Structure 1
Amino acid sequence: MLHSDGGRRTPWLRRTSAVVGIAAVVAAGFAPTAQADPVTGADSTHIVTLVTGDRVVVQDVGGRQTATVMPRPGSTGDFVNQRVDGDLYVVPATALPYLGTSLDRSLFDVSALIRDGVTDQVPVQVAGSAPGVRDGKVTAESGTAFGAALAAQAGRDAKNHFVTRGPLFGTASSVRLAAAGAPQQVHPNFPMHTVRILTVNGANTPADASLGVMNTDDGREFNGFPYSNGGEARVSVPSGDYGIVAWFPTFDSAGRVTSVRVVVQDFVVSGDQAVTIDASKATSQVTVSTPRPSNLVSETLEYVRSAQNMGSQGYSFGVGNGTAYVAPSTPSTVGGFHFNVQTHSESPAGAPSPYSYDLKIDNAGALGSNQHYKVTSDQLATLKENYHSDKPGRLEGSSRIIFLPYEFIGFGQFTPLTAPLQRTEYVLGGPDLSYADALLAGMATGGGFIPDTFRQYAARTTTPVDWLRGPLAPGLTSPAQGVTSWFCSACRRDDTIRVVLTPVLDSDGHGLYLDPPTTGTVSTSHFQLLSDGKALIDGKDVTGGEVAVPADQADYKIVYDQTRTAAWFHQSTVSHSEWTFGSAHSGAQTVPTGWACDPTTGKATDCSALPLVTASYQLNAGLDGTAPAGPDQVVVTFGHAPGGPNLPFAKGAVQVSFDGGATWTPTFQADLGGGRYRAQWTNPASVTGGDVALRVSATDVAGNSLTQSVLGAFTVPAAQS
């Protein structure tokens, strides 16, 4: 079985048919050699295109799920996230007033789209005509026209409070998903009652609202997201206890959310009845103060209800830098209740040293009347973030999703930044908060996706973080400290060897996915697993695979060649890596408890880590990937694949090349101990300047080795006359 690097089929990553949130099982799509058994590999990252041209990156990270939006060019950037019946919906706020009438909710069911393989283009049925629809499909490129037209319509309709609505875009009575979509809900066999939900903004003033309604005794009896058009929504439900959240957004003429009022309420159903939700009661403004002056960039409010027996509902609403108001509520008595506020704010323009704050604060049980949150310095952890870029002025996107203990799905959005950049980023510290960060090297195109694993930070600590610090080279990712759930990427279980390389790693261990080959973008690779001169796995554009091998001790060799070019990168475009290692039958589990080695069972029975050698680089180059002519150095730390023994190293070597790898120059080396070596050399001055290649090698005391070369590891600028 070959494991694809994902660059050749769907944008970025492979499709799967499994439910989002579960580590999916997929065949790689490349035929293995005759010796390799056809087995499957775990895959848990997907990119989904919405009909509005926005894209959503969905990941499973450490047993939790993240959904991060890449807004289309010109997007208002306001999104809502709804979770019900195991499905995840990501909806632009401009689409909310039209859901269930002219717009099909299934268009935004990200989970169902992944199950149906609808990830890079959306099949639609239009009653009439709609912008961006070509041959019955919408792509990320054509969807920008659909999204822009929808935002414009929301802006126009908001002027009269959505009272008079004609056809969508003036040309379509409905737009439906031309695919299976979400499964039909199972309706309980109980006596049903009609509940009229009346949404108003003061007495006798009907107002539209987006609703979340759940039976808090048992969510299986009712759990849904109706929309109140013209001030009324109707639901048919059995008797019982219910919780409701009502969101009352306002829009400007461009379709941007300017404010939202939130009302939560519990009620009991015993027969046909009416329930009134009044937006005018939401008078407590949500505000956050930070130790240093900062301007709000984005704010997301999240409502989470859990039923007493089974079922839960989540609804988050992104309001950008608009204002938010909530109505104080009485404590919930049936089921669980949480309401949290997440904000991203940045230093004022012109600050000599930029900084930001990412905060998430919880309300448990009820909403209080005081919604001002004051954050103090002793609550914060400090991240010294370095965003490296070998392309000056590169527009990147950063995302930080924050999890509270009760959350298993996190929602975020990429915020643009210009790299190279040094920024101090403050986050709340403590064991109850987990952070999942990600970076886009090419914000405009969605290229160069770099996710991070879960991390936790203690208050009053400082952590340096480097993104895309070179050289960028293939390798093996390692779990962050404290992470106990991990899928082994270089292991042997019984007599099956499984290796899956990370195509690109930076100096901090962030893994980069290869971009799909398009005009101006090249992503090619060749992976081989050899033993006794025989190819056990041999595949192009894959990063590894699985194969059955003899039980006896034998020597193995991995050869991996990679070429990658893209408009958002200049350096580290070509690499060659060779690993040698010995392996024999694994009859017991030696990897940590909580790890998984078998992609089918998710277990680690009889699993041992392979003794592959790893390399981590600390170049002396600047944030722009350049180093001046004259003395230079690199510190290389050699280690082993995670989960295995850290054997001592017998030798290590570092060489540099100033002619693209045609000739190699030895360096002056110092063994710093523990697998660390410092290599020093002199960069020659040149009128034209040029890229410098790097080659490293190491062998441990058991004979396992790594040799790796990277062309264009860094750049020496042209000498100034």
Structure 2
Amino acid sequence: MATVLGLVVTGGIANADGGGSGGAGAGASSGARTGGAEITLATGQRVGVGPGGVLAGRAAGLSWRTGGDGDRYAVPPAAAPYLGRPLDRSLFDVTELAKLGAGQRIPVRLTFAAGVAPSAPPGVTLTTVDGGTAGGYLTVDSARTFGAAVRAAIGADVRAGRPAGSGELVPGLTDMRLASVAPHRVSPRYPQAIVEFRATDLAGAATTTGVHLVNTDDARRADVDVPVVDGVGRVAVPVGHYSFTASFRDFDEQGEQTGLHYVVGTDVTAEAGSTTTVPVAESAASAQVSVATPRPTVPAQAMVRFVRSDAVGGGFEDLQGVADDDALYVSPQPAAQVGTLHYVLQYSGQSPAGGEAYRYDVAFAFDHIPADESLRVADDQLATVHQHFFGDPAQAGDTGMLYSGAYDDVLAHTPTMLNPSPAQQMPGEVTDYVGTADGGGWIQAIVNGNGLPFWGQPRRYLAGHEYDVDWGRGPLAPGVGQYPEPAGCVACVAGDTFDVGLEFAVDSDGHATGFMPRGVTTSFRLYRNGTLVADRPMPYLDAELTADPAEPADFRLRYETDQTAVDTVSQATRSVTDLTFRYAPSTAVAMPAPGSCAGQSADEPCRVLPLLSASYRLAVDARNTSELATQTMRLRVGHQRYGRFGSTAPITAVRVEVSTDSGTSWQRARVAGAHGRYRVSWANPASARGSSPSLRLTATDALGGTLTQTITAAYTIAG
């Protein structure tokens, strides 16, 4: 199941289970998507990978980069000064680390200076030594030890009055990288030139830092981290045009970031036969970022997103940020001469303690980096979003996090990181003033009281309008959903590649998760023309298969979940979802970019398969509990859609049944409505108070597709 927005969640995923394995059935690809994967960076930060966006578990200045190679990198602040010297960026390559699987060892390769006998850095276990090189690994636990050593080394530099990262991290260590990744080399197929960076600090003295240099004729030609030591860093690269970024970070004596000067060079030309000298002065980052809001706010996080597109449609994104009231400075730059520049400043602030709960999420976009970064938010640039958070009565905690990320026509094509809130009461409510200066597009997400992330889809808000958004309102059930814009496809065909699946749980507003609590068991089966083609155990949610796209076929998907062994889940404890659909070339609707799916290419667009989808909205309180004698529910039945793209086949029948005796008997509910929108009602008998009834939905469409879904303990009747 492909996604345009590859997601990363760091920290806060207390109970996510992304591990597991299982072979594909006949005809199915073994590379099908799992429900999500929890991984660990080399410095110990826990990271979960799934569909949606990028969620930083705490506002601590984690940087995010998409390289010219298409991989995605999440770099903690204390590790940034060591990139390229001696820490290779592969140690923070989320794309590669996700392939290792949850809880697996992180294999590393180390190189030491001539004459230095290899020794194990803190947390690293060596398994082989060959001259000046060694192999070894980190574990989930020992990576935290290594991360603590990195922060301690930064703190030692601060105490000694040295530039952060200028001291020796490990005696004689010159390179440490992920063992499964080949060293990145600049392409020798082009004439080479020398670029020399001269770095100075705020006082004008030579300093140590790192520079990220990318070719803007074609980012695939060169995308390198250049270490700058004692003011000088040199690299040989193909002749051509370049852009660079450099981060000068302030740290305290514990190795925690306290401020950032972000220096950008929009256009640099490397000419053959000469050395191009480029000044990288910390003082060039002279514009301090500040945001004034109509109501008082306490800063939670500010970040800048630098999207630099090359001349052939590729490029890279670099995201840097600070937390709380740490200072952030950027260097003014003109618009790009080669390719394009898209610069977005995003700010999140919360209400002062002790009063009404509100927050601001605002963003401003430019085709250059302005000299004046003191931005003021006007009332007529805001939409008001009332965020409502629901929870399971048995959930582990009463706090979670709300995240927001700006989304516009450029950011739609690049993975994104979302600003985290401080701890958010869940169940609870907050008024979110959302900015529209960048077109009003936002992606939002939560991590709930059980530590599970739920992602929303891109949504565009209008200034002056009010909205209500429910998170975690039940019943939570597997589904495919209906999305307002093209996005990563849940069930699509591209060329001869069919990728058919579901999300693990979808709430009443269509927010979805592929993560599963520890202790859950699942089963995924896919049939084509009556033949089983995939039989996937937990945690798999889909299957890929190859078939002739010109040949019509009948598909059946059966997905079962069981959460009865999970102590923190008391609702939607079991579910059985049985979907059938008839595929024909005419029933699969082409979806344009930024939609994405397995098998997609320039010649083979994603085509959305006509899977039925249901959205339930129960009349319940914030614990998904009802006091009503006559229960009501709004129900929408349709097809997987991405804006205008997806099946519009009419819904021909809908039936809802309720059981208050664990499925022994079922009573038919009253269903009123048509064209996919229904109001459903049934009795909550006094004899069932304190229990959790089950729901069963049956629906059909004009194409012959069917959906049967049974949800055990869908909600709770108050005792």
Q: Same fold (TM over 0.5)?
A: yes
2:27–2:533 contact (8 Å) kept in structure 1: no
- Provide the residue aligned with 1:381 in structure 2: 383
Whole-angstrom distance in 2 between the partners of 1:663 and 1:569: 24
Q: Which of 83, 86, 91 is the equivalent residue of 1:107?
A: 91
- Provide the residue aligned with 1:410 in structure 2: 416
Deviations 1:80-104 (A, max 9, x none): 5363443433211101222233323
Structure 1 position 393, deviation (Å): 3.5
Q: TM-score, normalised by structure 1?
A: 0.80
1:97–1:229 contact (8 Å) kept in structure 2: no
In the alignment, structure 1 residue 452 sits paired with structure 2 residue 456: yes
Output aligned runs, 1:202-213, within 5 Å: 202-203=203-204, 205-213=205-213
Whole-angstrom distance in 2 between the partners of 1:592 and 1:188: 38
Q: Which of 459, 466, 469 is the equivalent residue of 2:473?
A: 469
Distance 1:52 1:646, change over 3 A: same
In the alignment, structure 1 residue 143 sits paired with structure 2 residue 143: yes
Q: Which of 19, 24, 27 is the equivalent residue of 1:37?
A: 27
Whole-angstrom distance in 1 between the partners of 2:123 and 2:492: 44
Whole-angstrom distance in 2 between the partners of 1:100 and 1:560: 46
1:571–1:713 contact (8 Å) kept in structure 2: yes
1:80–1:316 contact (8 Å) kept in structure 2: yes
Output aligned runs, 1:148-297, within 5 Å: 148-162=148-162, 167-168=168-169, 175-187=176-188, 189-190=190-191, 192-193=193-194, 195-203=196-204, 205-214=205-214, 222-237=222-237, 242-265=242-265, 271-272=274-275, 274-297=277-300
In the alignment, structure 1 residue 363 sits paired with structure 2 residue 362: no
Q: In the comparison of the two structures, how many residue pairs are matched?
A: 669
Whole-angstrom distance in 1 between the partners of 2:71 and 2:243: 20
1:84–1:314 contact (8 Å) kept in structure 2: no
Distance 1:176 1:223, change over 3 A: closer
Structure 1 position 330, deviation (Å): 5.7
Whole-angstrom distance in 2 between the partners of 1:112 and 1:184: 17
Whole-angstrom distance in 2 between the partners of 1:553 and 1:86: 35
Whole-angstrom distance in 2 between the partners of 1:207 and 1:70: 31
Residue aligned with 1:159, SS = helix
Where does structure 2 lack aligned partners over 5 or more consecutive residues? Answer: 2-14, 111-117, 127-135
Distance 1:224 1:311, change over 3 A: farther
1:507–1:618 contact (8 Å) kept in structure 2: yes
Whole-angstrom distance in 2 between the partners of 1:104 and 1:605: 36
Structure 1 position 692, deviation (Å): 2.6
Distance 1:59 1:197, change over 3 A: farther
Distance 1:682 1:111, change over 3 A: closer
1:589–1:605 contact (8 Å) kept in structure 2: no
2:62–2:321 contact (8 Å) kept in structure 1: yes
Distance 1:209 1:360, change over 3 A: farther
Structure 1 position 424, deviation (Å): 1.9
Whole-angstrom distance in 2 between the partners of 1:240 and 1:179: 31
Q: Which of 346, 350, 353 is the equivalent residue of 1:346?
A: 350
Output aligned runs, 1:430-509, within 5 Å: 432=439, 434-441=441-448, 448-478=452-482, 480-483=483-486, 487=489, 489=491, 499-509=500-510
Q: Which of 125, 130, 133 is the equivalent residue of 2:121?
A: 130
1:654–1:679 contact (8 Å) kept in structure 2: no
- Provide the residue aligned with 2:561 in structure 1: 562
459-468 vs 166-175, which moves further: 166-175
- Provide the residue aligned with 2:523 in structure 1: 525
Letter of the 1:411 partner, please give it: M
Letter of the 1:339 partner, please give it: Y
- Provide the residue aligned with 1:652 in structure 2: 655
Whole-angstrom distance in 2 between the partners of 1:159 and 1:43: 47
Deviations 1:86-129 (A, max 9, x none): 34332111012222333233212334445777984311246423
Letter of the 2:426 partner, please give it: A
- Provide the residue aligned with 1:397 in structure 2: 401
Distance 1:600 1:81, change over 3 A: closer
Structure 1 position 569, deviation (Å): 3.0
672-681 vs 600-609, which moves further: 600-609
Distance 1:170 1:384, change over 3 A: farther
Distance 1:145 1:692, change over 3 A: farther
Structure 1 position 287, deviation (Å): 0.3
2:304–2:345 contact (8 Å) kept in structure 1: yes
Whole-angstrom distance in 2 between the partners of 1:253 and 1:711: 53
Structure 1 position 215, deviation (Å): 5.1
Computed over aligned residues only, the root mean square deviation of the Cα atoms, in angstroms, reads 4.2
- Provide the residue aligned with 1:427 in structure 2: 434
Structure 1 position 467, deviation (Å): 1.7
Deviations 1:544-573 (A, max 9, x none): 545979999998765433202545533111
Residue aligned with 2:74, SS = strand
Deviations 1:368-411 (A, max 9, x none): 2x211111121122322222111274343333332343342323
Structure 1 position 489, deviation (Å): 1.8
Structure 1 position 245, deviation (Å): 3.4
1:399–1:414 contact (8 Å) kept in structure 2: yes
Whole-angstrom distance in 2 between the partners of 1:673 and 1:316: 47
Output aligned runs, 1:628-647, within 5 Å: 628=627, 630-642=629-641, 643-647=646-650
- Provide the residue aligned with 2:673 in structure 1: 672
Whole-angstrom distance in 1 between the partners of 2:109 and 2:309: 36
Structure 1 position 176, deviation (Å): 3.6
Output aligned runs, 1:303-314, within 5 Å: 303-307=306-310, 312-314=315-317
Q: Which of 304, 312, 337 is the equivalent residue of 1:301?
A: 304
Letter of the 2:617 partner, please give it: Q
Output aligned runs, 1:63-82, within 5 Å: 66-70=53-57, 76-81=60-65
Whole-angstrom distance in 2 between the partners of 1:14 and 1:509: 25
Structure 1 position 297, deviation (Å): 0.7
Residue aligned with 1:277, SS = strand
Distance 1:222 1:199, change over 3 A: farther
2:478–2:504 contact (8 Å) kept in structure 1: yes
Where does structure 1 lack aligned partners over 5 or more consecutive residues? Answer: 2-9, 16-27
Structure 1 position 336, deviation (Å): 3.3
In the alignment, structure 1 residue 91 sits paired with structure 2 residue 81: no
- Provide the residue aligned with 1:24 in structure 2: none
Distance 1:594 1:13, change over 3 A: farther
Whole-angstrom distance in 2 between the partners of 1:500 and 1:678: 27
What is the percent sequence identity of the aligned residues?
28
Output aligned runs, 1:473-622, within 5 Å: 473-478=477-482, 480-483=483-486, 487=489, 489=491, 499-515=500-516, 517=518, 521-525=519-523, 527=525, 529=527, 539-541=536-538, 542-543=540-541, 545=543, 558-564=557-563, 565-566=565-566, 568-579=568-579, 583=582, 586-588=584-586, 590-594=588-592, 599-600=598-599, 609-610=609-610, 613-622=612-621
1:332–1:366 contact (8 Å) kept in structure 2: no
Q: Which of 21, 28, 45 is the equivalent residue of 1:54?
A: 45
Deviations 1:496-515 (A, max 9, x none): 98642333221122222242
Whole-angstrom distance in 1 between the partners of 2:297 and 2:718: 37
Structure 1 position 429, deviation (Å): 2.5
Ranked by relative contact order (alpha carbons within 8 Å, sequence separation 6 or more), the top structure is 2
Whole-angstrom distance in 1 between the partners of 2:213 and 2:600: 36
Distance 1:395 1:306, change over 3 A: same
